[in-house]
Amino acid sequence: MAFQAPTAEDLGLYLGLDEIEGDRAALLILQAVSLCESVVKPLPDQATAVVLSVAGRAYVNPQQVSYETIGPMSVQRPTGSGGLYLTKADKAALKALAGRGGAFTVDPTPATADPSPTWPVDDAGFADEFEPGWGYS
């Protein structure tokens, strides 16, 4: 099954909004999909969560406001909490969902490798000649 981008209604549900601007939400989802595809292409089926997260950040805080006061109420948001961007966690999640980014092992031994020694060995199992000073005569 191929990736299907979430809808504006999905974004509204994700954000807990009763009403959502459909055209704006659709544009942000489209842009979020494009950003996600800059990390992993094609997007895995489960990438919907990351796309909604990216689009949701931009939908609720498009100007990247970090501090706002209206009358007696004030709100401070973390720096970089708005606009359309991917966090390190978003990128890591996309890579993990695509099956990348985990630990792996590479065996450099050729398939034709033979475990027997390649140096000359005599019947006793020692090399034919020894350097002076090793205690062998």
* Residues in the chain with pLDDT values less than 50: none
Q: Residue 30: its pLDDT value, please?
A: 93
Could you give the 3-state DSSP secondary structure of residue 121?
A: coil
Mean of all residue pLDDT scores within the chain? 81
Q: 102-125, pLDDT tens digit by residue?
A: 677 888 988 888 877 666 655 555
> What gap in Å lies between CA 9 and CA 22, rounded to an integer?
8
Cα separations in angstroms, 33 against 20, 43, 96, 104, 114 = 19, 8, 17, 28, 50
> Which sequence spans correspond to the domains of the chain?
8-94
Q: pTM surpassing 0.75?
A: no
Q: Residue 127: its pLDDT value, please?
A: 57
